[in-house]
Amino acid sequence: MRARRAWGVVAGLLAVGAVAAAVTVFNLPDPDDDPSPASSTPASTAEITRQTLVDRESHDGTLAHGDSTTISSRGSGTITALPPEGTTISRGMAVFRLDNKPVTLLYGSLPAYRTLKTGVKGTDVRQLEQNLWALGYRGFTPDTTYSWATASAVKDWQDDLGIRETGSVEPAQIEYADGTVRVDALSLHRGAVVGPGTEVEKITGTSPLATVVLDASSGQLARQGAVVQVKLPDGKVVPGKIKKVATLVAKADDGQSDTTKSRLTISFDDDVKSQGMAAVSVAFTAGQRPNVLTVPVAALVALAEGGYGVQLVEDGTTRFVAVETGLFADGRVEITGSGLQAGMKAAIPS
């Protein structure tokens, strides 16, 4: 350099879009000062790399089994058996027993709402027949018509369950769920006398799920299908995916505005174990820049005339190159500048 210039060295990490660090000022020597190699070559350098830079924003969450669903009795009688909390119940198993008769779990999205018998038609018939077929009963074609062949298969099923072989199915006999369920909590005890609508137990899905509540200021992170990184209680980090976004509105008091938040449900592809509710940390992708040149934030120097630069170290000599900064993430910063290439060495000011 032909003129003396003051250069400021960034002494700490930079926040996104701003420098949050103290600056130490030093003078570069004139060309005729003839510095020694020890003084002209920085003691510490870092490589300029080309990579995908990802800025993550972390929020606290909870690992459990998702929201619970209530199972209520559809009939009247005495509860004679209940599954222990934490029990997994699959298709064909009893969710509880009423007057010593099983209330059987079947898979489907449509609740049982009427008696199914010969001559009845509808999507609920198809749903029942698909379950019978999955349980191994044959002699009918799963469709929307409850035929004599369906009634015959139902009698075989009822015989195996140890209940009266009527050939028809009452709503009180069955309970539909989307799939295998886990008993989350019991609402009463064995021997309780119940009527239609009495809450018996609460169930959840069997797969652990993480939930996170975000304020409106972080609402841009709540994108269904987005991939996140979840740090589990044992320290392991696993990928997750936002499967559901729900809006929560908290009513304000004293004439203040209502508060809107987003409640996210996150599922996992990996085999995640959960023994109960636990705290987790969820990292969201707030920004991403693929295939960019980066250096450690500490390699940036603030130029006296404005802007930033890096001090390149080449063959025992150094030179300064002005740079434009982009995304800051994980202690590195995106840079662009004349002649910069991956593999170059940048000085880390002491």
Percent of the chain with pLDDT over 70: 88
- Residues 82, 94: Cα–Cα separation, whole Å: 9
Which of 281, 265, 280, 260 has the alpha carbon at shortest distance from 217? 260
Look over the chain and give the mean of its residue pLDDT values, rounded to a whole number: 87
CA separation for the pair 135, 150 (Å, rounded)? 13
pLDDT tier, 78 (very low <50, low <70, confident <90, very high otherwise): very high
pTM for this model (two decimals):
0.69
69-72 and 101-107 strand pairing: unpaired
For residues 132-147, average pLDDT: 97
For the cut 90, the answer to whether the pLDDT of residue 283 exceeds it is yes
Instruction: Give the pLDDT score at 11.
Output: 33
- Residue 234 carries which side chain, given as an amino acid letter? D
Mean pLDDT of 242-256: 84
The pLDDT, as a whole number, for residue 21 is: 33
Between 123 and 249, residue with greater pLDDT: 123
- Domain 58-65+209-286 sits in CATH at 2.40.30
pLDDT given for residue 259 in this prediction: 85
Structure tokens belonging to residue 202: 């609460």
- Over residues 143-170, the mean pLDDT reads 98
Partners of residue 15 on adjacent β-strands: 18
Consecutive H or E run containing 37: helix 37-40
| Residue 7, H or E segment | strand 6-10
Q: What is the pLDDT of residue 42?
A: 75
**CA-to-CA distance for 95 and 103, rounded, in angstroms?**
6
Residues 10 and 301 sit within 8 Å (Cβ to Cβ): yes
The ranges assigned to domains in the chain are: 6-55+288-347, 58-65+209-286, 69-205
| Distance (Å, whole) CA 108 – CA 128 | 8
* Contact call for residues 318 and 41 (beta carbons, < 8 A): yes
Q: What is the pLDDT of residue 224?
A: 93
Residue 257 or 135, more confident? 135
Contact 104, 93 (CB under 8 A): yes
Q: Assign 3-state DSSP to the chain and report helix, strand, coil percentages, each to 5.
A: 15, 45, 40
Q: Which fold has domain 6-55+288-347?
A: 2.40.420
CA distances from 49 to 46, 53, 285, 295, 332 (A): 9, 10, 21, 7, 10
Please, is 164 exposed, middle or buried when counting C-beta atoms within 10 Å of its C-beta (0-12, 13-18, 19+)?
exposed
On whether the CB atoms of residues 172 and 74 are closer than 8 A, the answer is yes
Q: Are 120 and 146 in contact (CB under 8 A)?
A: yes
227-244 residue pLDDT tens: 999 999 999 999 999 999
pLDDT band at 2 (very low <50, low <70, confident <90, very high): very low
294 pLDDT more than 90:
yes
Strand partners, 70: 202
Please tell me the predicted confidence (pLDDT) of residue 275.
65
Quickly state the pLDDT bin for 273 (edges 50, 70, 90): confident
Separation CA 344–CA 321 (nearest Å): 12
Size (the chain), residues: 350
Q: Work out the average pLDDT over 268-274.
A: 84
pLDDT of residue 16: 33
**Crossing angle of the two packed helices 148-161 and 123-134, in degrees rounded to 10:** 50
What pLDDT is recorded for position 40? 59
**Residue 36 pLDDT greater than 70, yes or no:** no
Task: Residues 69-205: name the CATH superfamily.
Answer: PGBD-like superfamily/PGBD (1.10.101.10)
